[in-house]
């Protein structure tokens, strides 16, 4: 799903400030209030923003967003993150790719690699890569989550534990100031933990919006990561954790 540039900027402002107001946006974009109201109505119909009197608010950070909404947020940043992470993975490697819109961006950037063995609990990743003969795609068994095609549960955990791979590409729903990696579904978290424990090199891919969100279930800690690929890390505490734990921090520098 595509967002026009003005609507994309409105979403980004709502994310940063918590809310946006019709009159302020009309002045800033030099358009009529009616045009702004139409933009907000479109975004609210897509459930990206929530309407309030005179404007709209960004959804509460304590609630997970619908998967298609998450695809649209920071899409350009995710593409660059995906390309940078894919650049770390050589031909003939084995890797895990878990659930997430940013990990899917990594899978898209891997299409010029050869002889990769990709083990995933993400149906979208498996479906994208299975048609290319240079990949051996192995998909985990378990419960398929209808919201995003993620495969979760104890059966998936047991399946993942059969492997020891070169790389793991993992995402997260939120990154706390203390370095905690957080998610919403404890069943997904157990699979992510198994993925991290059974890879020689763990690559975390996450855009900066995850610094501003929270989630209730702990995946692990940033110190357990080998490489963190993000667009911009503007949090001194996170940079310090990376430096103190020899976590390679790669910033792609995507513009707002």
| Residues 38, 76 share a domain | no
Domain holding 184: CATH number?
3.40.50.1360
Q: Does residue 78 share a domain with residue 36?
A: no
Q: What are the tens digits of pLDDT across the range 190-245?
A: 999 999 999 999 999 999 888 988 888 999 999 999 999 999 999 999 999 999 99
Which among 139, 97, 133, 95 is positioned nearest to 114, based on CA atoms? 133
**Residues 86 and 202 both lie in one domain:** yes
Let me know if residue 103 belongs to a domain: yes
The CATH number of residue 49's host domain is 1.10.10.10
For residue 27, what are the domain limits? 5-59
Mean of the per-residue pLDDT values for the chain?
90
SS3 category, 165:
strand
Tell me the C-alpha distance between 95 and 246, whole Å.
21
- Give the model's pLDDT for residue 4: 86
Residues 11 and 80 in one domain: no
42, containing H or E segment:
helix 33-45
Residue 253: pLDDT band with limits 50, 70, 90: confident
Residues 153 and 38 in one domain: no
Q: What is the pLDDT of residue 37?
A: 93
Clarify whether residues 133 and 47 are in a common domain. no
Residue 215 inside a domain? The answer is: yes
The verdict on 87 and 213 lying in the same domain is: yes
Residues 78 and 42 in one domain: no
- The structural domain count of the chain equals 2
Residue 29 lies in a domain: yes
pTM of the model: 0.74
| Mean pLDDT of the 106-121 span | 95
How far apart are the C-alpha atoms of 3 and 154, rounded to whole Å?
37
Q: Are residue 216 and residue 115 in the same domain, yes or no?
A: yes
Question: What ranges make up the beta strands (E) of the chain?
Answer: 19-21, 50-52, 55-57, 94-97, 116-120, 135-139, 143-144, 151-152, 165-170, 174-175, 180-183, 199-205, 217-221, 227-230, 248-251
Q: How confident is the model over 142-175, as pLDDT tens digits?
A: 999 877 889 999 999 999 999 999 999 999 999 9
* pLDDT over 80 (residue 69): no
**What is the arithmetic mean of pLDDT over 166-190?**
94
Is there a domain that residue 64 lies in?
no
């Amino acid at each position: 799903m595509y967002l026009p540039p003005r609507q994309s900027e409105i979403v980004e402002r709502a994310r940063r400030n918590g809310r946006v107001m019709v009159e302020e946006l009309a002045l800033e974009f030099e358009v009529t209030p009616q045009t702004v109201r139409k933009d907000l109505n479109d975004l609210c119909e897509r459930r990206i923003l929530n309407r309030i009197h005179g404007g709209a608010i960004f959804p509460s950070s304590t609630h997970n967003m619908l998967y298609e909404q998450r695809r649209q947020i920071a899409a350009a940043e995710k593409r660059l993150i995906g390309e940078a992470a894919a650049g770390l993975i050589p031909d003939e490697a084995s890797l895990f790719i878990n659930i997430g819109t940013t990990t899917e961006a990594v899978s898209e950037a891997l299409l010029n690699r050869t002889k990769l063995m990709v083990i995933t609990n993400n149906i979208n990743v498996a479906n994208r890569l299975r048609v290319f003969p240079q990949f051996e795609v192995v998909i985990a068994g378990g419960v398929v989550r209808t919201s995003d095609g993620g495969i979760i549960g104890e059966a998936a955990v047991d399946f993942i534990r059969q492997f020891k791979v070169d790389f793991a590409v993992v995402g997260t729903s939120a990154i706390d100031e203390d370095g905690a990696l957080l998610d919403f579904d404890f069943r997904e978290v157990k699979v992510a933990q198994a993925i991290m424990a059974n890879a020689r090199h763990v690559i975390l891919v996450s855009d900066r919006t995850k610094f501003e969100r929270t989630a209730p279930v702990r995946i692990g800690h940033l110190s357990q990561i080998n490489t963190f690929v993000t667009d911009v890390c503007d949090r001194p505490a996170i940079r310090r954790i990376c430096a103190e734990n020899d976590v390679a921090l790669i910033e792609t520098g995507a513009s707002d």
